[in-house]
A and B are shown apart, each in its own frame.
Chain A
């Protein structure tokens, strides 16, 4: 499938040069774009296709009241620069408070801008999220952002392909997040480097679009720049009626084209991995990279469990940073903060799942719980369903949309030594705040942990 999308976007091919691929959609946010716009201006160039470009404020925005100004002057300036750059070059931009504003990888799909067979880029590594629709979507650096702004294309070398076939079905209570954490644990942080992943098999087909987005989102955590899933009836049903999706006869034409991108029977891959979904249970990360995961029912591993010297060394460092003792049951680990949000798990189904666990219960004494919807549309939907009332009644904080504590660029941070259960995607040292300790989990485990005060699955709480 990746091959088909690649060939359909080929602008120029020459011996000894990378292929030049056309880019159908360029998503822009405030952090990785200012220097690119500066480059465009310095070279006297312009934005070739503002009509294929869209911008939103997400990484820096505070998630507290929209009625208050942004206190951090540097964040404020960066957001103002995005607004000014978009105005100068005629790019639609959703600023803080706009009804369409949200995390860039949440708003693309919900607006219907993300469609099968497209090439989609963004100066953000979690652009792989859009692969859930059968789009070839990947993160780029600022030089490439500038390149796409100027030319709506990118010179690229074709990656290798890896099929990740997930057979059988997930057990009740096991989510897409647990599945992708288990996949990363299996192939490692470097296993996907140089590859595009294609997730397939019964367990993948059974996922909703939002579950598929969670899986594709974390492809980069296995080292793969892109991960995709073939479009099917689930994809088409999701797209129908979305604001930017084609309508009427155009929708029918598009539907046929979208399905034609599906992987051919007998297609070959450079590498194949097979995973049995029925063996996967709720997962939690114990270390400082996303491959350092274990079933929630297990204990903290010992460095001696790792044969590879580099992995052993990494485990020693990680356990020291995380202040964990091998052999401790993971469920005995107490947390101070729970974060439900990020481009991995901040969509309506994630919030519904969390709310079903919070309903009629209280957050454990002294715990801080932040619930940050992925976009204003998600926020409005959640409020229409009364989920916000469930969260606040339980003692959680219901916030404004943004990236928030996933990467601690806004005021939502962990303090040094503070421990969190987080539905985000990275447990790197200091990722959620300098000295902070992150355990990656699903929204279900996050909510159960918030009630219990220690890492827990929904089955562990009363």
Chain B
């Protein structure tokens, strides 16, 4: 993945809780065997509604999505992350993310930013009121700031996840450094364990 250090941009408010991955990318889109082109499917059923926030011209070009709690619940489809990134999002902010979605974000380089519920709620209101509000997220410092409204918040990633974002490391390459450990573990596995062969 590409390194991610500082993200500066405008945000789109998605004031809904429990946004599941079926809404982020409906299952019809999952039949594709490619990894690209999912942006057109992002929230596609909601986008049919002209009043949906993604159709609001004032928010065009925003790179940060601010959402309600429990974002990314449901299916494990990484297509949800591909769709958000393909559309142009670099970060998603919520007070709580579903575990698999969060993990998928960190594998692809979409920054999941977890902040306190009251901060998330205040940010949703602020962005809704001012579509031009500029937000800066600093991965190394673990901070999110919107100077125009005097708002600042902190977020925590696992230290190793922070390093991976900053350096854009490849997870598989990192694991293969432990090839010897893998081989010796395999030699000790109990004989009764099943094989599929």
Segment of B5-13, B83-91, B97-105, B137-145 in the binding face: B97-105
Instruction: Tell me, in angstroms, the Cα distance from A25 to B196 when the chains sit together.
Output: 9
Instruction: Tell me, in angstroms, the Cα distance from A105 to B190 when the chains sit together.
Output: 24
Q: Are the CB atoms of B30 and A20 closer together than 8 Å?
A: no
Q: Are the CB atoms of B31 and A75 closer together than 8 Å?
A: yes
Contact residues of B between 8 and 28, Cβ < 8 Å to A: 16-18, 20, 22-23, 26-28
Contact of B100 among A140, A151, A254 (CB under 8 A): A140
Q: Mark A301-316, 1 if CB is under 8 A from B, else 0.
A: 0000000001101100
Q: Are the CB atoms of A409 and B193 closer together than 8 Å?
A: no
Q: Mark B104-131, 1 if CB is under 8 A from A, else 0.
A: 1001100000000000000000000000
Q: Are the CB atoms of A407 and B27 closer together than 8 Å?
A: yes
Let me know if A271 is at the binding interface, CB within 8 A: no
Q: Are the CB atoms of B172 and A409 closer together than 8 Å?
A: no
Q: Mark B158-197, 1 if CB is under 8 A from A, else 0.
A: 1110000000000110111010011001100111111111
Q: Are the CB atoms of A125 and B100 closer together than 8 Å?
A: yes
Which chain B residues border A52 with CB–CB below 8 Å? Answer: 195-196
Which chain B residues border A151 with CB–CB below 8 Å? Answer: 172, 175-176, 182
Instruction: Tell me, in angstroms, the Cα distance from A91 to B190 when the chains sit together.
Output: 22
Let me know if A325 is at the binding interface, CB within 8 A: no
Which chain A residues border B76 with CB–CB below 8 Å? Answer: 32, 123-125, 139-141
Contact of B45 among A141, A153, A245, A434 (CB under 8 A): A434
A310-B17 in contact given A140-B100, A153-B182, A407-B27 (Cβ < 8 Å): yes
Q: Are the CB atoms of B31 and A74 closer together than 8 Å?
A: yes
Q: Are the CB atoms of B26 and A434 closer together than 8 Å?
A: yes
Q: Are the CB atoms of B45 and A314 closer together than 8 Å?
A: no
Let me know if A53 is at the binding interface, CB within 8 A: yes
Let me know if B35 is at the binding interface, CB within 8 A: yes
Which chain B residues border A54 with CB–CB below 8 Å? Answer: 196
Contact of B70 among A38, A91, A113, A193 (CB under 8 A): A193
Let me know if A11 is at the binding interface, CB within 8 A: yes
Q: Are the CB atoms of A223 and B98 closer together than 8 Å?
A: yes
Q: Are the CB atoms of B171 and A143 closer together than 8 Å?
A: yes
Instruction: Tell me, in angstroms, the Cα distance from A144 to B97 when the chains sit together.
Output: 18
A115-B77 in contact given A20-B181, A34-B33 (Cβ < 8 Å): no
A193-B182 in contact given A289-B73, A310-B68, A409-B27 (Cβ < 8 Å): no
Q: Please, how many residues of chain A have a CB less than 8 angstroms from a CB on the other chain?
A: 85
Contact of B194 among A20, A112, A150 (CB under 8 A): A112
Q: Are the CB atoms of A409 and B31 closer together than 8 Å?
A: yes
Let me know if B42 is at the binding interface, CB within 8 A: no
Q: Are the CB atoms of B45 and A155 closer together than 8 Å?
A: no
Contact of A143 among B108, B160, B178 (CB under 8 A): B108
Instruction: Tell me, in angstroms, the Cα distance from A223 to B98 when the chains sit together.
Output: 6
Q: Chain B residue with minimal CB distance to A246?
A: B192
Let me know if B50 is at the binding interface, CB within 8 A: no
Let me know if A253 is at the binding interface, CB within 8 A: yes
Which chain B residues border A31 with CB–CB below 8 Å? Answer: 30-31, 77
Most buried by B among A31, A140, A152, A246: A31
Let me know if A147 is at the binding interface, CB within 8 A: yes
Which chain A residues border B174 with CB–CB below 8 Å? Answer: 155
Instruction: Tell me, in angstroms, the Cα distance from A155 to B16 when the chains sit together.
Output: 32
CB distance from A40 to the nearest CB of B (A): 9
Q: Chain A residue with minimal CB distance to B17?
A: A310
A141-B78 in contact given A78-B31, A189-B18 (Cβ < 8 Å): yes
CB distance from A91 to the nearest CB of B (A): 8
Q: Chain A residue with minimal CB distance to B160?
A: A17
Let me know if A68 is at the binding interface, CB within 8 A: no
Instruction: Tell me, in angstroms, the Cα distance from A143 to B170 when the chains sit together.
Output: 10
Contact of A193 among B30, B35, B99, B107 (CB under 8 A): B99
CB distance from B153 to the nearest CB of A (A): 19
CB distance from A228 to the nearest CB of B (A): 15
Let me know if A130 is at the binding interface, CB within 8 A: no
Which chain A residues border B18 with CB–CB below 8 Å? Answer: 189-190, 289, 314
Which chain A residues border B28 with CB–CB below 8 Å? Answer: 408-409
Let me know if B75 is at the binding interface, CB within 8 A: yes
Q: Chain A residue with minimal CB distance to B102?
A: A193
A81-B33 in contact given A190-B69, A254-B192, A313-B17 (Cβ < 8 Å): yes
12 new A-B contacts, CB < 8 A, other than A35-B35, A118-B193, are A18-B160, A22-B182, A22-B185, A22-B189, A32-B77, A50-B196, A59-B30, A72-B31, A147-B175, A246-B194, A253-B192, A426-B75
12 CB < 8 A contacts A-B: A12-B178, A18-B158, A35-B34, A38-B35, A143-B171, A150-B176, A223-B99, A225-B99, A250-B192, A257-B190, A314-B16, A409-B31
Task: Please give me the 6 A-B residue pairs with the lowest Cβ-Cβ distance, nearest first.
Answer: A143-B107, A141-B104, A141-B78, A34-B33, A139-B76, A254-B192
- Using a CB–CB cutoff of 8 Å, the interface residues on chain B facing chain A are 16-18, 20, 22-23, 26-28, 30-35, 45, 68-70, 73-79, 81, 96-100, 103-104, 107-108, 158-160, 171-172, 174-176, 178, 181-182, 185-186, 189-197
